[in-house]
Structure 1
Amino acid sequence: MKSVLLALCIVSVSFPALAINRYNVQAMSCASVQQAVKRDGAAILRWQSARNPSLPLYDRYVRNGLYCDPNEYAKRAYVPSQNRANCLVYKCADISDNLLFDD
């Protein structure tokens, strides 16, 4: 019985990671990118590197700090969208990196 309960706990913890949506932001307007992150709460945003177009870049972006771990906060970040080089989004950052004058 304990092994079944342990297995159930492990499976239930791993499901949220599988449910995160992924978006190619260079095919979306900035407003669409922001709307997708707001709607989903958290999303993986992908784009091609400007320096090396064969290199895909990606990270997890969030609606707000509620989607971050307790030792993290939502920090401003920018991704390239179809119509903007710097589209404002938020990503989780370690709270120890949050300086007085940081975003």
Structure 2
Amino acid sequence: MKAQITVLAAFAIVAAFPAFAIERLQTTTRSCADIQSFVQANRAVILQYPAARGSGGLLYDRAVANSDVCLGSGFGEQSYVPSRDKRNCAVWVCRSSTDLRP
């Protein structure tokens, strides 16, 4: 009986906490410094930005504060996204260690 109460109490506590979803940020509405600060504060952020060739499409990338945030056997790699004030704002993204690079 005591074990059941403990399990129910633990379940109630976990259910009371909100689910933490990864933040999403549109890069062209923020300055580069704001984007970098937001990524550092949230550790991982989904960045949304327009495709470079003017196709009207949107691209998405998961920016991270550092390589430690990369899951599994991935590693951090510097990438660039457009921001409100810069064409190439530097951010860190995760890449799989199995990616073949030319």
TM-score by length of 1: 0.73
Residues 1:79 and 2:81 aligned together: yes
What residue identity is the alignment partner of 2:77? K
**Aligned residue for 2:53?**
51
How large is the Cα RMSD of the aligned pairs?
A: 2.5
What residue identity is the alignment partner of 2:94? C
Matches within 5 A, 1:19-38: 19-38=21-40
Report the secondary structure of 2:53's partner residue. Answer: coil
CA distance in 2, matches of 1:83, 1:66: 28
**Aligned residue for 1:91?**
93
**% identity of equivalent residues:** 35
Structure with the greater alpha carbon radius of gyration: 2
Structure 2: where are the runs of 5+ without partners?
Answer: 1-10, 12-18
What residue identity is the alignment partner of 1:70? G
Distance 1:95 1:22, change over 3 A: same
- Size of the aligned set, in residue pairs, is 89
CA distance in 1, matches of 2:55, 2:36: 23
Structure 1: where are the runs of 5+ without partners?
Answer: 1-7, 9-14
TM-score by length of 2: 0.74
**Aligned residue for 2:65?**
63
Runs (4 or more) in structure 1 with deviation over 6 Å come to: none
C-alpha displacement at 1:97, in angstroms? Answer: 4.4
CA distance in 2, matches of 1:51, 1:93: 23
CA distance in 1, matches of 2:53, 2:97: 30
CA deviation string 1:35-79 (max 9, x = no partner) = 010000000001111313420111111001111113111110110
Instruction: Give the structure with the larger helix fraction.
Output: 1
